């Protein structure tokens, strides 16, 4: 099975997120980028499908942030081809509709039977890339998927998450785009030595796109950090002092005897 | 039908109207009050007319009954909504940021060339504009946006609006699908419910929930030991479930389990809206996180800015 996997960069939420001078966007110069977690799962799902049934994996990414690191890691994990789409604007990541238009053009040339992409990204504000990509490719879409198994007769079985830990088992005829929430197993670890080796042996294919970029129809006026509610009583002191106070609280509230 | 109406995409899960739908109706009522339009709920499915009464807080309820809509699949839903929203021409479409809304709403917006805003927490009407506050980056950043075009397609985070308790007198319009529907490339086979046997975290008095701050699987024992001395059980936020460190039955959040224990201890849980929606009604919430700006402190009763790997073992010892 020929699989295309789309990967993106998102801000690392462990690091502080600064707002830029415009007051209406994240300051990308101050942001640490890493692979969008659900895209990482999409890559893992592709690797699992390839391992079970053969085929090839092409990873596609827009050249933004520190995407090269992500792409070399993907190559080290087992991606066969890497396609990078040039992107001129260093100051802002592409909006989902913009990214969908660009990525669709690159994916069309790959002749993939299955396109896997993270079902969402935490910085998506104006739409969601995964379903928009399917629309651009004129392919069926199903998202919020936890696991994909090879099926019969040119199909796959996808497991779609529903509330209450329920999952819908769905048959998806290929070609199709699936929005992955989580792979059948967590993304694999790859040693740094293999990434270094991939940096020497991997050549990125650059794919210029001339996609018509849709005009934004949402105006971002301001971005800011939420005001702390001040609800929590914050406990300070050494670990033992804090633990002793918490134990008292748990006793006062009748949680422990 | 008016250009000031607010259209709500109703959801039914496992034969019951989903909670998010009552929240959307509550939000839609306020918005329609400001626009002077009506609240129009849309219910898609097969044999779903029985749910009409519980959706009567809308002014109008449009029920589209078709065998092809019996179980969710994006394409037929999208085809019906594109036609319906096109003919109704509302001011806004409210969909939940759910497994159904996330599949359909972005494509609906694109098909109608309409603005789409994700992760909406607040929506207000100001003249010809809709002013929206969206919570992005796991709730760590709020984006204030405005849209002028109608309809706007808004994906609403669960917990954003007070659920309506009104039982109005909606006019029910049962209609066949406005477009011919076909079995597409995506077909439902069966619903897999959680296997019995694991602990039901919705029934526990004490939950110790772990998040990304636990860092690695080996550290889970720190939380297990605390849960054991408290006579409680382990729960988790989504990243831990996605790592496979706990089964999906332990996931707290809008797409996992909604829990209301007597005591909820959040260890290294940042408090993304998805998670908070599943635990905010717990009686006592204690949060430990290294990030003083973590949104979990906004719902906690007591907070500690520290590494859970230091605090949790100390607390276990203190309780012993």
Single out the residue in B133, B160, B175 at which a domain terminates: B175
Chain-wide mean pLDDT for chain B?
94
Interface touch B103/A253, C-beta < 8 Å:
no
B105 and B66 belong to one structural domain: yes
B115 and B261 within one domain: no
Per DSSP, the residues of B244-290 read TSS-GGGBBSTTSB----SEEEEES----HHHHTTTTT-SEEEEEES
ipTM topping 0.90 = yes
pLDDT at B107 over 90: yes
Q: Are residues B162 and B217 in the same domain?
A: no
Residues of A in Cβ contact (< 8 Å) with B303: 232-235
The bridge status of strand A2-7 relative to strand A56-62 is parallel
Select the residue of A125, A142, A255 nearest B143 (Cβ to Cβ).
A125
B156 and B26 both lie in a single domain: yes
More confident residue, B194 or A233: A233
Instruction: Classify residue B181: in a domain, yes or no.
Output: no
Mean pLDDT within B17-35 = 95
Chain A residue numbers with beta carbons less than 8 Å from the beta carbon of B226 are: none
**Cβ-defined contact of A225 to B295 (cutoff 8 Å):** no
Q: Looking at CA atoms only, how far is residue A74 from chain B in angstroms?
A: 18
Q: Which of B184, B192, B300 sits opposite A231 (nearest CB)?
A: B300
* Total structural domains within chain B: 2
CB B3 within 8 A of CB B89: yes
Structural domain that includes position B72 = 6-175
Task: Identify the sign of the CA torsion B108, B109, B114, B117.
Answer: positive
Residue B198 has pLDDT above 80, yes or no: no
> Touching check for A212 and chain B: CB below 8 Å?
no
- Helix, strand, coil shares of chain B, percent, nearest 5, are 30, 30, 35
State pLDDT tens for residues B201-225. 999 999 999 999 999 999 999 999 9
Rounded to whole angstroms, the Cα distance separating A48 from A147 reads 10
Shared domain check, B125 and B41: yes
Mark whether B148 and B238 lie in a shared domain. no
| Domain end marker among B157, B175, B193 | B175
Chain-chain contact of B187 with A244 (C-beta, under 8 angstroms)? no
For chain A, which domains are there?
Answer: 2-206 (3.40.50.620)
pLDDT band, very low/low/confident/very high, at B182 (cuts 50, 70, 90): confident
- B45 belongs to a structural domain: yes
Q: What's the per-residue H, E or C state across A122-167? A: CCCCCCCHHHHHHHHHCCCEEEEEEEEEECCCCEEEEEEEECCCEE
Considering the domain architecture, whether residues B170 and B210 belong to the same structural domain is answered as no
| A47 lies within 8 A of chain B by CB | no
> Quick check: A256 and B230 CB within 8 A?
yes
Whole-number pLDDT of residue B205: 96
Backbone dihedral region for residue B146 (phi beyond 0: left; psi -120 to 50: alpha; all else: beta): beta
- Read off the pLDDT of residues B63-73 as tens digits, 9 standing for 90 and up: 999 999 999 99
Asked if pLDDT for residue A136 goes beyond 90, the answer is yes
| Residue B124 belongs to a domain | yes
Quickly state the pLDDT bin for B254 (edges 50, 70, 90): confident
Q: How far is A237 from chain B (nearest CA, A)?
A: 9
pLDDT band at A227 (very low <50, low <70, confident <90, very high): confident
Residue B183's pLDDT is 77
Residue B264 lies in a domain: yes
Average pLDDT value for residue range A108-112: 93
Does residue B315 share a domain with residue B263? yes
Average pLDDT over residues A129-135: 98
Residue A220: C-alpha distances to residues B95, B211, B248 (Å): 21, 31, 36
Q: How much is the pLDDT for A203? A: 95
Query: What are the tens digits of pLDDT across the range A147-184?
Result: 999 998 899 999 999 988 899 999 999 999 999 999 99
My answer on whether B68 and B217 are in the same domain is no
For residue B193, being part of any structural domain is answered with no
In a domain, B148, yes or no: yes
Domain of residue B255, CATH code: 3.40.50.1220
Whole-number pLDDT of residue B1 = 63
| B14 and B75 assigned to the same domain | yes
Q: Which residue has the higher pLDDT, A5 or B273?
A: A5
Better-scored residue on pLDDT, A227 or B304: B304
Q: Is the same domain home to B166 and B225? A: no
Whether residue B49 lies inside any domain: the answer is: yes
Answer whether A153 touches B (CB < 8 Å): no
- % of chain A with per-residue pLDDT over 90: 88
Q: Which of B175, B209, B237 is where one domain is finished?
A: B175
What's the CATH number where B98 sits? 3.40.50.620
Residues B120 and B29 in one domain: yes
**Partners of A60 in beta bridges:** A6, A83
Contact criterion met (CB < 8 Å) for B302 and A132: no
Structural domain includes residue B211: yes
């Amino acid at each position: 099975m020929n699989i295309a996997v789309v990967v993106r960069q998102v801000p690392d939420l462990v690091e502080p997120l600064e707002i830029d001078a415009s007051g209406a966007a994240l300051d990308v110069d101050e942001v640490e980028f890493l692979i969008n977690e659900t895209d990482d799962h999409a890559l893992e799902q592709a690797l699992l499908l390839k391992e079970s049934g053969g085929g090839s994996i092409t990873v596609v990414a827009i050249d933004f942030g520190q995407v090269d690191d992500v792409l070399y890691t993907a190559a080290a994990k087992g991606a066969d081809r890497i396609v990078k789409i040039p992107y001129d604007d260093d100051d802002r990541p592409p909006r989902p509709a913009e990214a969908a238009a660009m990525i669709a053009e690159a994916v069309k040339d790959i002749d993939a039977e299955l396109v896997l992409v993270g079902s969402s990204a935490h910085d998506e504000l104006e739409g969601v890339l995964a379903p928009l990509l399917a629309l651009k490719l004129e392919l069926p879409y199903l998202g919020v998927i936890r696991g994909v198994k090879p099926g019969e007769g040119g199909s796959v079985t996808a497991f779609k998450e529903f509330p209450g830990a329920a999952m819908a088992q769905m048959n998806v005829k290929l070609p199709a785009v699936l929005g992955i929430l989580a792979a059948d197993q967590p993304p694999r670890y790859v040693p740094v030595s293999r990434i270094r080796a991939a940096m020497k042996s991997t050549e990125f294919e650059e794919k210029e796109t001339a996609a018509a970029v849709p005009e934004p129809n949402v105006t971002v006026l301001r971005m800011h950090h939420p005001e702390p509610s001040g609800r929590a009583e914050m406990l300070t002191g050494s670990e033992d002092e804090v633990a002793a106070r918490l134990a008292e609280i748990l006793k006062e509230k009748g949680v422990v005897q | 039908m008016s250009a000031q109406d607010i259209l709500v995409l109703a959801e039914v899960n496992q034969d019951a109207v989903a909670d998010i739908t009552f929240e959307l109706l509550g939000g839609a009522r306020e918005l329609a009050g400001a626009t002077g339009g009506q609240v129009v709920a849309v219910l898609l499915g097969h044999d779903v007319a029985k749910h009409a009464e519980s959706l009567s807080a809308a002014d109008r309820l449009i029920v589209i009954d078709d065998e092809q809509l019996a179980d969710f699949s994006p394409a037929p839903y999208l085809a019906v909504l594109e036609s319906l929203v096109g003919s109704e021409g509302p001011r806004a479409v409210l969909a939940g940021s759910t497994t159904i809304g996330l599949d359909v709403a972005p494509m609906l917006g694109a098909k109608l060339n309409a603005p789409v805003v994700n992760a909406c927490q607040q929506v207000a009407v100001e003249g010809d504009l809709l002013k929206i506050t969206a919570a992005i980056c796991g709730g760590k950043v709020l984006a204030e946006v405005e849209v002028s075009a109608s309809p706007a397609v808004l994906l609403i985070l669960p917990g954003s609006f007070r659920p309506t308790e009104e039982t109005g007198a909606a006019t029910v319009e049962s209609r066949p699908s406005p477009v011919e529907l076909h079995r597409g490339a995506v077909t439902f086979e069966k619903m897999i419910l959680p296997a019995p046997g694991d602990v039901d975290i919705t029934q526990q008095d004490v939950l110790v929930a772990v998040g990304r701050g636990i860092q690695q699987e080996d550290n889970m024992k720190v939380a297990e030991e605390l849960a054991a001395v408290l006579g409680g059980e382990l729960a988790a936020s989504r990243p831990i479930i996605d790592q496979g460190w706990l089964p999906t039955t332990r996931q707290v959040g809008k797409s996992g389990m909604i829990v209301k224990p007597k005591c909820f201890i959040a260890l290294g849980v940042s408090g993304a809206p998805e998670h908070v929606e599943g635990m905010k009604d717990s009686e006592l919430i204690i949060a430990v996180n290294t990030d003083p700006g973590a949104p979990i402190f906004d719902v906690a009763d007591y907070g500690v800015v520290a590494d859970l790997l230091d605090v949790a073992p100390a607390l276990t010892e203190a309780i012993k």
